[in-house]
Copies of this chain bind each other. A is one copy, B any other.
Amino acid sequence: MAELVGNVLVGQSGGPTSVINASVAGIISEALNHECIEEIYGALNGVQGILQEDLIDLASESQQQIRALRHTPGAALGTCRYKLKKQQDFDRILEVFKAHNIRYFFYIGGNDSQDTADKISKHAQAQSYDLRVIGVPKTIDNDLSITDHTPGYASAIKYIAASVRELACDNESMGHGDLVSIVEVMGRSAGWLAAGAALAKRRDHPHDPPHLILLPEIPFNQEKVLEEVKRVLKRERFCQIVVAEGLVDADGNYVAADAQTDAFGHAQLGGAGDALAEIIGQNLPGVKIRVAKPGLLQRCAGHAVSKTDSDEAYRAGQAAVEAAIRGETDKMVTLLRGDGEQYASETGLAPLADVANSVKKLPREWINEDGTSMNFQFLRYAQPLIQGEVVVPHDNGVPVFARLDKSRVDKSLPAYEV
């Protein structure tokens, strides 16, 4: 493989995670090792920034800031949900790449973003422009196929599990047989995040909170859930429920959506947690109900990041550069789990086209038969991923995160309307 001399461009896309910037740090640190790489640029707000030629010089950032990226949530380069459609968009991207001699393009994102990367790569090939494109996986949803798990997922479930366990301390002390505590977690179509709450249980303590995990995979059975809540209230004096925002009933309708329109067609507020609270309140009078909805906090809790996750995200960034230097292109970095007793992961590569449009489901056989708790197969899968804590520096009592200088690369092309 002939050495390809030129510049690197890194972009971030889709919803951020707590460790998405660790991958940027991994890419930068590895890129600095290779002499064929001349400049290291970042695209502001993903492909949208490329279209607008909004590039920044990452090599000129201080080493402190690049190190701080390893524990900084949110997408430090900015992100977008822009979908390239027009042929013109692809032409423009290639024009920008040519103008800045971009020969290595690394795109950190989920399904849609890998699809975008794939299309950019194919377009460059069709135009005989020598470009190596490697995707780096990220999503708290853990729904990317082929990779064992996705960077970002573990930190989200570590935060959820820690929050549920802390909340259990509070709930337990308040419960007198009449307290139902609901935590609504993200996950519109899959229960990966809600399932992670099971990690709050101590080993061999199946009765530990959360007492019920309501997943999008298991149709909501109101009667059964109410029975279970009553049983838990009697046994534990409080009942802690984790519910995925995408909970659906037997007809496939969102439980939250049901509550959003009343008999007169008025829009009502609230999500799955509030809807569940209403159902329990109406059917179990005298029960006190508390709902917590951490919302986006689930994907940006920098103070509760998994060390394993952060390290893997960084490593995935490094591996992307290594692969591109070796001559690979049109691939996404994957995480492969070792076979040994002790958890270990290494990186692999998979064709972008294979990743782009498939979704990894939470296996039914990892959910207990009752449909409201996770079994040892899930725990065996998820437990190793949340190991280790990242110490985040604090200033004045609050965590300190990276702030990039974002020194702009001079534009050389006419403006482009997005």
Contact = CB atoms under 8 A, between A and B. Distances in A.
Given A166-B399, A297-B167, A172 B74 contact: yes
A32 interface: no
A132 interface: no
Given A166-B399, A264-B266, A399-B166, A176 B45 contact: yes
Interface in A270-315: 270, 274-275, 277-278, 290-297, 299-304, 306
Interface in A158-200: 158, 161-163, 165-174, 176, 181, 199-200
A389 B278 CA distance: 38
Q: How large is the interface on A (under 10, 10 to 19, 20 to 34, 35 or more residues)?
A: 35 or more
Contacts of A173: 12, 16, 74-79
A174 B167 CA distance: 29
A401 interface: yes
A158 to B, nearest CB: 6
A63 interface: no
Given A75-B173, A162-B303, A290-B296, 8 more contacts: A16-B174, A73-B170, A74-B174, A166-B297, A170-B299, A262-B268, A268-B268, A389-B394
A86 interface: no
Contacts of A290: 295-296
Interface of A: 12, 15-16, 45, 72-80, 158, 161-163, 165-174, 176, 181, 199-200, 203, 259, 262-264, 266, 268-270, 274-275, 277-278, 290-297, 299-304, 306, 383, 386-389, 394, 396-399, 401
